Structure 1
C-alpha cells in the first residue's frame, strides 16, 4: 500500500531539483570569458550537469519511488546543517580561498556525521590540499587564493 505523502516528497524534491537545474543552466549561459578557451568553452560542463540534473529530476516527478519519506528529528536537523555549511562555503569561497574554505567545510561536515575532531581535521586538510593540487596542477583550473592572502602580499 502506497501512502500519497511519500510520493509527494519525491515529486517536491524533483520539482526543486528541476528549478536548480534551470538556475544552473541560466547561469552557465551567461558565462562570458574574455580570453580564448578550448573549443568547448567553460559553458559545457555546467550545462551538461544541468541537463543531467533536469533529466533525473523529471524521473522523480513522473515516476516517484514507493519508499520515499520525509526525514524526521535529528536527521532533518543534520540535513539543514549540511545545507547551512554549503551556503557558508559558497559565501566565503572567494574571500577565504579554496583551501581554507574547503578545509572548514569538510571538517564541519565530518563532525556533523560524528567523526572525531582529529579525524575530521585530518580529512579536511588532506581533501582540501589534495583536491586543490588536483584541480590546479592536474586539470589546470584556477582557484581563488582568498582576499586575506592578497592583503598579506
Structure 2
C-alpha cells in the first residue's frame, strides 16, 4: 500500500463511521419509551456513543495514521477469536444469563491473552459478579438470569 493510499483508507473508514454514528443517533432520537426515566432516559446512552464515535471518526478523517500494516497471522487469528467470543456473548447473553456468560467469555479472553486457567477463572468470576452487582444494585438495571435458570426455578 502506498503512502498516499494509507490516509485515504483511514479517511474512508472515518467517513463510514461518521455515517454509522449518524444512523445510531437518528435511531436513538426516534426511540419511544412508554414511561419516563429520571434523570436520564434510554436515549442518552446511544446518543452519547454516537457522539463519541463521530468525534473519534473525525480524528481519522483529519489526522489519518501513517501505519497501514496488516497484523501477522497469529495476531489476526487472535482478533478473529475475540470477535467470535463477543458474538457468542451476544447470542448466549439472554439464554445462559449475564453472570455465567460473562464469566465464560472473560475467562476465555483472559486465557487467550496468556494468563493461566486459574487466574482466568478468578478474573472471570470477579468481573461477572462485580459487574452484576454494579448494574443491578448500583444502577438499578435488571440483567437476564438465563432461561436455563428460570426453567430450574
| Structures share fold, TM-score greater than 0.5 | yes
Q: 66-75 or 114-123: which moved more? A: 66-75
Deviation at residue 66 of structure 1 after TM alignment: 1.9
Q: Equivalent residue for 1:136? A: 136
What is the RMSD of the two structures over their aligned residues, measured on CA atoms? 2.1
TM-score, scaled relative to structure 1? 0.85
Task: Indicate conservation of the 8 Å contact 1:95/1:147, yes or no.
Answer: yes
Deviation at residue 75 of structure 1 after TM alignment: 0.9
Q: Equivalent residue for 1:67? A: 67
Q: Equivalent residue for 1:88? A: 88
Task: Indicate conservation of the 8 Å contact 1:89/1:105, yes or no.
Answer: yes
Residue-by-residue CA offset, 1:46-88 (whole Å, 9 max, x unaligned): 1111111111112112320223432121111111111111111
Task: Indicate conservation of the 8 Å contact 1:136/1:142, yes or no.
Answer: yes
Q: Equivalent residue for 1:49? A: 49
Q: Distance in 2 between matches of 1:7 and 1:95?
A: 43
Task: Indicate conservation of the 8 Å contact 1:78/1:112, yes or no.
Answer: yes
Q: Equivalent residue for 1:100? A: 100
Q: Equivalent residue for 1:120? A: 120
Q: Distance in 2 between matches of 1:130 and 1:32?
A: 31
Residue-by-residue CA offset, 1:97-138 (whole Å, 9 max, x unaligned): 111111111011111111111111110000000010011111
Q: Equivalent residue for 2:34? A: 34
Unaligned 5+ runs, structure 1: none
CA change 1:99–1:7 in 2 (3 A) is same
Deviation at residue 4 of structure 1 after TM alignment: 3.3
Q: Distance in 1 between matches of 2:152 and 2:119?
A: 30
